[in-house]
Homo-oligomer: A and B are copies of this chain.
Amino acid sequence: MSNCEDLRDTVHEHGGRMTRQRRVVLETLASVDAHPTAAELHEMVRQRLPGISQGTVYRNLRRLQELGYVQELDYGAGASHFDARVEPHYHVRCLRCGRVEDLELDVEPRPDVDQAAQAATDWQIDGHRVEFVGLCPECRGTDEREDRGGG
């Protein structure tokens, strides 16, 4: 949420064109701690740009991801969620309401796991993805899950 000012120039460097829509999509995503889906983000962005279309939000999210300003969190439970924090960090997903949030965990992602995996197979191991699952504070009270976690 602080680096938004230089985004214009930086995005230019990468060949992007900083339209009003793209700027607002990124600013909005960067300004919230939550990790909204494309539809949720569309709704938020609409408050500043009422005419923006959902396709534009999708397109910009994809482009911004390619440019490295956004990461997509897609673990299969319904829609993808998006995150403007691109440094690697952990996420939790609520099994009941689907919400995704950051998890501040000082356990470092361990490359030795990848090495162990590499030693065990003839595939080329590029890495691994981790997602924590559970119940968010709001859903802890209620008790009527619609599970989707596996793995």
Contact = CB atoms under 8 A, between A and B. Distances in A.
Contacts of A83: 151
A151 to B, nearest CB: 4
Interface size class of A (residues with CB under 8 A): 35 or more
A150 interface: yes
B133 A126 contact: yes
Count copies of this chain in the complex. Answer: 2
Contact of A117 (B88, B90, B120, B128): B90
Contacts of A120: 103-105
A134 interface: yes
Contacts of A80: 76
Interface string A123-135: 1111111111111
B107 A116 contact: yes
A94 B71 CA distance: 19
Contacts of A48: none
Given A75-B75, A123-B136, A131-B151, 11 more contacts: A72-B150, A74-B148, A91-B151, A92-B117, A94-B123, A125-B133, A126-B134, A128-B130, A128-B132, A129-B149, A129-B150
